[in-house]
């Protein structure tokens, strides 16, 4: 089963991605993680990407797709993959389709996790973490025992610099600008399944499982 997972910042996609990977035995493929690793290992693809980045240019879509397909080829015989944060543009989606066709593979489902913008802002801006022990909190949904203080006695909690209201609004706007065309693109292929992400985590998980169980049964 090959899955594309779309979701805005703060939607809880990381939590749900872990569930999907663990439950269905899929390989988690994050374009950002793979790009960073290719660069740090100094591979040919990584060096080529670094050249674009050093000159202030965007890494071309075909190069990003080549990295992803290299990762797929190296994974051997797995149950499938879940693409996280990829593709980001129509160009990447088209390049991915071509590469998948050449490899004799296809996307089975595109999960579109939908969350209201106002809720996204609340979720992201309320995140806190402890820089000493790594504990994660949320001022509303997972509040520490003492406001802004780590439960483990480490002291004051930290907020990421990009978790401010203004930055979050910009990130959400950018996501909508990039993702709306992607949803339309995959809708034309008939493989988009939208899931309500406004509800509790366990209800989102149940909805995703229902969709993926159906897809798994269909492709057997």
Which residues form the catalytic set?
A: 13, 88, 127, 160, 171
Main-chain dihedrals φ then ψ at residue 27, nearest 5 degrees: -90, 130
Please tell me whether residue 127 adopts helix, strand or coil conformation: strand
- Report which of 77, 83, 65 is spatially closest to residue 20, judged by C-alpha positions: 83
* C-beta of residue 123 within 8 angstroms of C-beta of residue 10: yes
What value, to the nearest 5°, has the Cα angle with vertex 64 and ends 60 and 67?
145
Residues 110 and 193 sit within 8 Å (Cβ to Cβ): yes
CB 3 within 8 A of CB 108: yes
């Amino acid at each position: 089963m090959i899955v594309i997972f779309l979701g805005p910042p703060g939607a809880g996609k990381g939590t749900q991605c872990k569930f999907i990977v663990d439950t269905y035995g899929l390989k988690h493929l994050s374009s950002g993680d793979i790009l960073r690793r290719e660069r740090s290992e100094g591979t040919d693809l990584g060096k080529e990407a670094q050249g674009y980045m050093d000159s202030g240019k965007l890494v071309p879509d075909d190069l990003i797709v080549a990295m992803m397909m290299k990762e797929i080829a190296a994974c051997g015989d797995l149950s499938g993959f879940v693409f996280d944060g990829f593709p980001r543009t129509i160009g990447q989606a088209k390049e991915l389709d071509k590469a998948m066709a050449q490899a004799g593979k296809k996307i089975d489902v595109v999960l579109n996790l939908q969350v209201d913008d106002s809720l996204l802002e609340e979720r992201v801006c309320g995140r806190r973490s402890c820089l000493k022990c790594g504990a994660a909190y949320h001022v509303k949904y997972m509040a520490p025992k003492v406001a802004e203080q780590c439960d483990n006695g480490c002291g004051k909690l930290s907020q990421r610099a990009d978790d401010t209201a203004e930055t979050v609004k910009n990130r959400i706007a950018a996501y909508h600008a990039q993702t709306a065309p992607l949803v339309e693109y995959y809708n034309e292929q008939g493989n988009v399944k939208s899931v309500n992400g406004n509800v509790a985590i366990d209800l989102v998980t149940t909805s995703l499982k229902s969709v993926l169980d159906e897809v798994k049964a269909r492709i057997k």
